[in-house]
Structure 1
Amino acid sequence: MVARNPQEPGPEGLASELLGKGALTPDWLPAYRAVPRHVFVPGLLWPGTAGGNRQGALVDRDTAPEQWWEKVYSDIPLTTHWDDGAHARAEKGRSPTSSNSMPTMVFAMLDALAVEPGNRVLEVGTGTGWNAALLAHRLGAENVVTVEVDPAVAAEAQRRFGDLGLTPLSVVGDGVEGHEPGAPYDRVIATCGVSHVPRSWIEQCRPGGLVVAPWGPAYGGQAVARLRVGEDGAASGTFVRASAFMRLRDQRNAFPPTSAYPDTGQWPAGGVRRTSFLSPDALGGWHHMFTLGIQLPDVFCRVSWGSRGAYRLWLLDMGVTSWATADYEHGRSAYDVVQHGPRRLWDEAEEVMAWWREHGGPRFERFGLTVTPLGQRVWLDHPDNPVPVRVP
């Protein structure tokens, strides 16, 4: 355990920052102070960026204790686990698979959860254990069940719970199944992203209860859904803020390689046209990605980087039939586009973005999600106004 640094940043400095942002509310302040973040951060971490999903170089508590402390008490996410544990500890792996989430996001989601005394909570995605410990302190450990798919990650979290004398029920298992023996719950919260809300989460939450989970389509763009469970087995509600969580392991995307598509090695086999309606750069915006992914659920993107910030954006369909590219270069107002296959994917993207503009460029808060036993649908402004899904 590292000694507390008398200089800011530190627990109280971060608390002041979070209170100023409105993320940490006074009712969660006692739990924040009783469950310090540094207890739930391992000695090796890779600091992220606020609102971003890129990690910096390794920070080792043993060799850089002051830097480690500074990162822990900064409002940033901290990656703690790569490639399901199969990575060189001193280097970044291919894919982050566990983290201590950005404090603003932690407390914003806890606020959205709106817990009340005596509530029973199911958490999916224990990770380092900080979120479950905060809930356990506020509600009583007997009212918190937390599920983690990785046995080693779960064991570390259990050890940290013990350091603070907290004993939430820690379950090793697939989060998609929830934990039926502890049901019904008053609240369900996921600290991992999904593209389909598992039925078990809704079925294990009592009518009138809340499910809070990061949701996003395959294309990208993710937001926190706050769903109220109804008597009819459906759940519905709005998105409350942007998010960027690692995917539930059961719902990780497996995209076909670009080489599997016809004629990608013979660019520009589809013919070149010039467009100024839609910049490739726009399709990297979080709201744009979200809207595009909802309306084109079988489309995903890749980027081929050039020099000086130039790149080629690829749009590809999951059916491995069609692709499109658009070349971006800073300062240009017209872009070369190539389309190949039976679908005109760039044309489809332009249609989606035209829809987005026609509806006033909606942000996440205007979108909502309804989940029923038959499926799920995203809507705009009202549940009776579903967002169109452009299935060929």
Structure 2
Amino acid sequence: MKEPPVGKHSFPLCGTGWGQVLEATPRCLFLPDLIWPLDASNGRYETIDRAADPDGWRAWADADVPIVTQWDDGRHTGREPGTMATSSASQPSLVVRMLAALDVEPGHRVLDVGVGTGWTTGLLAARAGAANVTGIEFDARVAEAARARLDAIGVDPKVITGDGAAGWAPAAPYDRLQGTYGVLRIPPAWIDQTRHGGLIVAPWRTPFVHGGAVVRLTVNADGSASGPFTGAAEFMQSRPERFAWVAHTDYIPSNDAWPVGTAESRTSLRPDDLRTLDGAAEFVIGCAVPDVVHTISDDDDGTTSAWFYELNGDSWAVVYFDQDPEAEVYQGGPRRLWDEIEAAHRWWAAQGRPEHERFGLTVGPAGESVWLDNPHQPIPGGRQAEKARTPRP
């Protein structure tokens, strides 16, 4: 069995009023007996059973790693990891970072969207007062388990079962709103139900890549909200925002020939230019090239293939990377997706390859705008003032 990490995670927030709360409300109180922590050394999920290995279970519970607590919307059975993680206890250091950004004070009215195990809801209740905290959880069974854990430690915030995108108007307006799952758009209800000057802290992403960034928005009197991203983060996505992966044959009907109108070119970009190890490149591309998903695979012949598909149209692109300094590009449809991607990467590189923390988000009635350094410098491309679209079914 894989040895768990040694030592308990320490929380550097004692000066902010959170340290005592975190120490008094540890994550282990909110975990089921069977958990699947992520082993960062190999990128795999371990199966840890409290009954079989109580010391190992506690060590993983205290470790600074995310822990999956549900697979496949609860349909999963057995001890081995399932196909898709659908509920989890977040990495403690990330929880700490988000709590610091949320800046909750005693007496604040708080909405916690995405209760999960109940840990963050319990932390917020301990800080702001249980009567001031409302949590929302989409999955009824997950919500019920969270209520039981909160009750077991004598904390009783209201936990609602429902769609977090709708917020919870009966307890509004809120001073603070925290989202604990990745959203493709900031729901309007979150802004409407947060008071002017209040804060929203939530993970935000694009369809281009699962990872995104945590944003800290201040709600303005005109109904807009704006603020910086505080750092990269990857969360489980909003269940109502899920969409089926595209069918390759909808774009490339035949394996024998490229569709009519296919354009050929070459590029000097490499696979690592599109992966997370190259800073915020994927994040910027997702903002500048809207409604596009992609997949990168290493092929048996030593080449790497990167496919790009437009969610709401027929445009596509593929790049074949090999040992040649320039890779082959094929693209078709009304949009030239690779040209857009290359332009976005070129812009990002020209700005000095800025990390997530230099970007910010503004949300208003017209849509969303991602910017660099200040709202007057929007990322060039199609994500500005763009309203939500319905993905291809």
**TM-score, normalising length: structure 2:** 0.89
Deviations 1:288-327 (A, max 9, x none): 1111111111211023342497531111111342222223
Distance 2:46 2:40 in 1: 15
Unaligned runs of at least 5 residues, structure 1: 1-6
Match of 1:234 in 2: 224
Q: Partner letter of residue 14 of structure 1? A: H
Check if 1:280 corresponds to 2:271: yes
Distance 1:204 1:271 in 2: 48
Cα distance, 1:390–1:118 mapped onto 2, change above 3 Å? closer
Counterparts of 1:1-392 in structure 2, within 5 Å, are 9=6, 13-15=8-10, 18-19=11-12, 27-49=17-39, 54-220=43-209, 221-263=211-253, 265-266=255-256, 270=262, 273-276=265-268, 278-285=269-276, 287-307=280-300, 310-329=303-322, 333-390=325-382
Distance 1:236 1:68 in 2: 41
Distance 1:319 1:352 in 2: 20
Aligned-pair CA distance for 1:287: 1.0
Q: Partner letter of residue 326 of structure 2? A: A
Cα distance, 1:232–1:26 mapped onto 2, change above 3 Å? closer
Distance 1:66 1:272 in 2: 58
RMSD: 2.4
1:301 aligned counterpart, secondary structure? strand
Give the stretch that moved more between structures: 256-265 or 154-163. 256-265
Cα distance, 1:25–1:93 mapped onto 2, change above 3 Å? farther
Cα distance, 1:166–1:299 mapped onto 2, change above 3 Å? same
Aligned-pair CA distance for 1:255: 3.4
Unaligned runs of at least 5 residues, structure 2: 384-393
Q: Partner letter of residue 9 of structure 2? A: L
Q: Partner letter of residue 283 of structure 2? A: F
Deviations 1:131-163 (A, max 9, x none): 111111111111110000101000111111011
2:319 aligned counterpart, secondary structure? strand
Q: Partner letter of residue 251 of structure 1? A: E
Tell whether the 8 Å contact from 2:66 to 2:89 is kept in structure 1 after alignment: yes
Aligned-pair CA distance for 1:41: 1.1
Deviations 1:169-210 (A, max 9, x none): 010011000000000110000001111101111111111100
2:9 aligned counterpart, secondary structure? helix
Tell whether the 8 Å contact from 2:105 to 2:127 is kept in structure 1 after alignment: no
Cα distance, 1:259–1:194 mapped onto 2, change above 3 Å? same
Give the stretch that moved more between structures: 120-129 or 218-227. 218-227
Tell whether the 8 Å contact from 1:261 to 1:320 is kept in structure 2 after alignment: no
Give the stretch that moved more between structures: 225-234 or 380-389. 380-389
Tell whether the 8 Å contact from 1:136 to 1:143 is kept in structure 2 after alignment: yes
Cα distance, 1:186–1:34 mapped onto 2, change above 3 Å? same
Aligned-pair CA distance for 1:340: 3.1
Give the stretch that moved more between structures: 55-64 or 264-273. 264-273
Aligned-pair CA distance for 1:66: 2.7
Distance 1:42 1:308 in 2: 44
1:201 aligned counterpart, secondary structure? helix
Deviations 1:253-309 (A, max 9, x none): 333222221346236664764432x11222122511111111111211023342497
Distance 2:358 2:203 in 1: 16
Aligned-pair CA distance for 1:379: 1.3
Distance 1:299 1:371 in 2: 21
Give the stretch that moved more between structures: 257-266 or 227-236. 257-266
2:342 aligned counterpart, secondary structure? helix
Tell whether the 8 Å contact from 2:271 to 2:304 is kept in structure 1 after alignment: no
Cα distance, 1:64–1:338 mapped onto 2, change above 3 Å? farther
